[in-house]
Chain A
Amino acid sequence: MIKYVFRRILQMIPVFIGVTVLLFILRAPGVLPGDPVRMITGERPISDALREQIIKKHALDQPLHKQYYIYVTNLLKGDLGESYQRRTSVVDIFADKFPNTLRLALAAIVIEIIVGIAAGIISAVRQYSFSDVFVTLSTSVLVSVPVFWLGMLLQIFFGIRLKEWTGGAVFLPMSQMSSSQFPDWVHLILPAITLASVSTAYVARIMRSQMLEAMGQDYIRTAEAKGLTRRAVIFRHALKNALIPVVTFVGIDFGVMMSGAILTETVFSWPGVGREIFLAVGQRDWPVVMGGVIIIVVIVMIINLLVDLSYAVLDPRIRYGGAQE
C-alpha cells in the first residue's frame, strides 16, 4: 500500500513538471505581448532605478530556465511569489479565497450525491417507468444547460420573481453581498444548486447504469434465492457494487469544482479561487495565475490519489501493493 502511494506520487512528478513548464512557456516574453515590467507597474511612469529594482526582484533579466529554476525552488519552499498588482503574497491571497471555494464545492457535492444517487437508483429500479424516463430526460437536459445561464435563471426566479409574488416575504439571496439578513448558509443555496447541476445529472446517469448492471449479476439472484426482500437485495447487494464508480466520479468532480466554479462564482459574485485566477488572467497577474493553477493541480492530484485508495476500501478485489492470493 505504502509502496503504491509512493509510486503514484513519483508518477505525479512529470505531470507536475509538465504543468509548471507549460505555465512558464505561456508567460514567456514574446508569447505574451508587452513588457513584463509594465505588467507589474501598470501604466504609471517609473524611474529607471525602480525599474532596475523590479527586474532584479522578479529575476526578469535572467534567462527563462533560470527563472523557472528560481520559481520551482521557491515553490518547493512553499513560496508562490507575490502578486504583481497587489503586493501581497500569492499564498495569502489563496488562503483567503480557498475557504469560500471549499464551502461552495462541499455544498454542491452534498446535493450531487443525495439527488444524483437517489435519482439513479429510482431510475434503475423502475426501469422504463415514468420516473425512469423523467430522470433520463432531465439528466440529458441538465448536461446541456450552460451553468451560468442556469444560475441567472435561478436568480431571476428565486431572487426577483418570488420576491415580487410574495410581496418581498420569500426569496433567496442572489449573491453573497446582496443581503445580510440571511444566515450564511442561505447564501450558498443558489450557487450550490447551480454548481451541482451538471454533476448531479452525471451521477444519476452513472448510478443508473451501474445499478442496472449490478442488478443483472448472478449474485443478485443468489441474494434473492436466500429470501431477502427486494429492498435488501437492492440496497445491500446491488448498491455497494454500483457505488464504486460513482465514488470515483464524485472525487474527480470535487477536484474539478476547485477551479471549474469560475462561471458559478462569476454569476453569483462569489469570491472563490476560480474567480480570483480568472481576474488575475485579465490583469496579466501571472504569479497569481501560476500559483492558483499549481495549487489546484496539486489538490486535484491528491484527490485523485485518495479516490484510488478509497477503491481498496470499497472494492475488496483491489489491493494495492502486495500480491495476495
Chain B
Amino acid sequence: MAALLEVRDLATHFFTRDGVVKAVDGISFSLDPGKTLAVVGESGSGKSVTALSIMRLIQEPAGRIVDGEVYFKGDSVLAMNESQVRDLRGDRIAMIFQDPMTSLNPVFRVGRQIGESLMLHRHLSRKDAFERAIELLDMVGIPHPRDRARDYPHQFSGGMRQRAMIAMALACDPDILIADEPTTALDVTIQAQILELMSELQERTGTAIIMITHDLGIVADMADDVMVMYAGKQIEYGPADSVFYRSGHPYTWGLLDSLPRHDVDEKGTLLPITGQPPSLINVPSGCAFHPRCRYAREICPREVPASREVGEGHFAACHFAGQDGFVRGAAQAGGEVA
C-alpha cells in the first residue's frame, strides 16, 4: 500500500539579510493512514517549518522550499498549483497551532470559524455549516455547544479554544491532522485532556496525525513513529518502540534522559542536555550536534554523518550509530566508546 504522505529530502531555506537559514535540511519520512508520527526537537529545530512546508504555507519570498518532494496519496504536493493546494488545505490536510489564544480570529464567532472550511470545501450553506459546527463542538466535548458556537473566542478558556481548533481542523474529516505543539500553551491538566481527546478522535475518525512537540514524554503513548530533528536535520527516525528503547543517537538519549521517569527509578536524576541549541545561520560543521555531544570524536566536526539503519526501519544520523557498545547509558556507566 502506498503511503498516505511521503516526504523525501525536503529542504526549506529562509533568505535573510544575515544569511541563509537552512530551517529544514533534508527530511524524509512517510506516514500511513491512521498512524501517528511524532516530530520531536528543540525550538528552532525546524519542526514547524516542516509542517508548514507540507502545507505549502511558507511565506515567499523570504522562505522557499528549495529541494525535495512531498507526495500526498501519490500526488506531488510541490508540483500542484495554488488552487490545488488550497483544495488540500483544511480539507485533506488540516492543522492546529500552538497558541489557541491567538490562532482564532477574535472578531468572528467560534461556530462561524469552524463552519468556514465546510462552506469552502463542502459547499454547505452558512446555516448548515453552523449546525455542523455545533455537532463538531459537541464531538470535542464542549458543553452547551449550541450556545457556545455563538460565542467569540475570548469567551472561551484556553483548553476550550484548543478543542475548538481541533473541531475546526476535523470539520472536513481530513486524512492528516498536523498538530504543531498543540498543548504547549496549556496547563498541564488540560494538556492531558487534549491529548486524550486527540487519541480518541483518531480512533473514531481514522485520521493520521503528525504531532509536533519538543516533549518526547507526551508522545510516548500516542506515536507509532518518531522523528527527531536537530538544527533542521533529521537525526533519528523510526518506529516509536525502537526509538525509545534502542535509540542510536546521543541527542535522542539526551532527550530521553531529561524526561522524568516515574516507572523505573524514583530517585533517578534528570540529565539536561548541556549547551545552547545552535544558531541556524552558523550551523556547526560536520555533525551539528557535536559541540554539545559528550561522545564527540575527531571525525564529528569534519564530516556530516550519514543516516544509518540501526534497526528495522530505524535510522540514526550519527557516525557511531549501531556500533557495538555505543548505546544509551554508556557514558553514565563511565564507559567510553572504544
Contact = CB atoms under 8 A, between A and B. Distances in A.
Interface string B63-91: 00000000000000000000000111111
A221 B105 CA distance: 10
Interface in B114-171: 116-117, 120-121, 152, 154-155, 165, 168
A229 interface: yes
A11 B97 CA distance: 44
Interface in B261-306: none
B104 A222 contact: yes
Nearest to A226: B90
A227 interface: yes
A103 interface: no
A225 B57 contact: yes
Contacts of A217: 102
A227 B94 CA distance: 9
B107 A221 contact: no
B90 A221 contact: no
A218 B98 CA distance: 9
A226 B104 contact: no
A240 B106 CA distance: 10
Contacts of A241: 105-107
A237 B105 contact: yes
B102 A316 contact: no
B95 interface: yes
A48 B97 CA distance: 86
B103 interface: yes
Contacts, number: 72
Given A218-B99, A228-B116, A229-B86, A223 B105 contact: yes
Contact of B107 (A222, A229, A240): A240
A315 B89 contact: no
Interface string A103-117: 000000000000000
Contacts of A240: 105, 107-108
B107 A316 contact: yes
Contacts of A228: 86, 90, 116, 120
B55 interface: yes
A125 to B, nearest CB: 13
B155 A324 contact: yes
A219 interface: yes
A225 B107 contact: no
Contacts of A65: none
Contact of B105 (A222, A225, A325): A222
B104 A316 contact: no
Contacts of B97: 218, 221-222, 225
> How many B residues touch the partner, as a band?
20 to 34
Contacts of B89: 224-227
B106 to A, nearest CB: 6
Contacts of A221: 57, 97, 103
Interface in A254-294: none
Given A218-B97, A222-B97, A324-B155, A314 B116 contact: no
A227 B117 contact: yes
Interface string A288-325: 00000000000000000000000000111100000011
Contact of A225 (B94, B106, B108): B94
Q: Identify the interface centre among B90, B91, B121: most chain A CB within 10 Å of its CB.
A: B90
Given A225-B95, A226-B120, A219 B106 contact: yes
Contacts of A225: 55, 57, 89-90, 94-95, 97
Contacts of A222: 95, 97, 103-105, 165, 168
Contacts of A224: 57, 89
Q: Identify the interface centre among A217, A218, A225, A325: most chain B CB within 10 Å of its CB.
A: A225
A237 to B, nearest CB: 5
Contacts of B57: 221, 224-225
A315 B107 CA distance: 6
Interface string A227-253: 111000000010011000000000000
A325 B155 contact: yes
Given A240-B107, A316-B152, A317-B106, A226 B99 contact: no
Interface of B: 55, 57, 86-91, 94-95, 97, 99, 102-108, 116-117, 120-121, 152, 154-155, 165, 168
7 contacts: A218-B102, A223-B105, A227-B91, A240-B107, A316-B106, A316-B107, A317-B154
